[in-house]
Amino acid sequence: MAHEINNPIQFIQGNIRIMSEAMDCMLPVMDLYVEQNPDFKVARLDYPVFRQHITTLLKDLSNGTVRIADIVRDLKKFARAEEGSFDDLVDVNEAVQASLRLVHNKIKRHKIVCGLDPDLPKIKGNGGKIEQVIVANLINAAEALGDRQDGVIDVKTVKEKTEPRSVSAFPTTAPA
């Protein structure tokens, strides 16, 4: 299914590049035309409005296709969570970012504060399972906040220093 989604995305991305190049060529010609025809409209927009926004519209289209491709990639990883072993080296920061993309529509009404430790080491585990836990927590946080417009979801990764502990199989004191 991901392959079926990715094919049209590639097609759309290619067409957007062609349209952007075409606009780069056409805009100077249209600028000259508007000097003689100040009432000229493009797509029902006055030309100055069109001229001001067309580049942004094309960039937004391109960014949207990249976002769709990222979501499809994240869904593929998420769906394979059951297949993975627990011996993978997992970048927890990447797992958080992928999870945030997956649940974007569920949490977007809340402010997301994301503080990811750039020095966080990779851990041994199952990346898909870790993402499932993060997704579940993000959804739970959003549901707990409900419709509150002032809701904040704070996501942080940190490496805590831990002191080595000695463990003994035998108690050091006799029970009383």
Is residue 65 assigned to a domain?
yes
CB 115 within 8 Å of CB 84:
no
* Together in a domain, 77 and 115: no
The answer, yes or no, to whether residue 43 has pLDDT greater than 80, is yes
The identity of residue 118, as a single letter, is P
d(CA 122, CA 125): 9
Predicted TM-score (pTM) of this structure: 0.53
Q: CA-CA distance, 24 to 33, in Å (whole number)?
A: 15
Please give the angle made by the CA atoms of 37, 38 and 42, to the nearest 5 degrees: 85
Same domain, 73 and 92: no
Based on the domain organization, do 75 and 46 belong to the same domain? yes
Average pLDDT on 55-81 reads 83
Same-domain status, 100 and 76? no
Tokens of 98: 């992928």
Asked whether 102 and 64 are in contact (CB, 8 A), the reply is: no
| Whether 115 and 149 share a structural domain | yes
18: containing domain: 2-82
Within a domain: residue 112? yes
**144-161 pLDDT, tens digit each:** 998 887 889 999 999 887
Does residue 119 carry a pLDDT above 70?
yes
User: What gap in Å lies between CA 75 and CA 128, rounded to an integer?
Assistant: 10
Name the residue among 17, 5, 140, 153 with its Cα closest to residue 75.
Answer: 5
Taking only the tens place, the pLDDT of each residue in 73-114 is 877 776 665 566 677 889 999 999 989 988 888 888 889 999
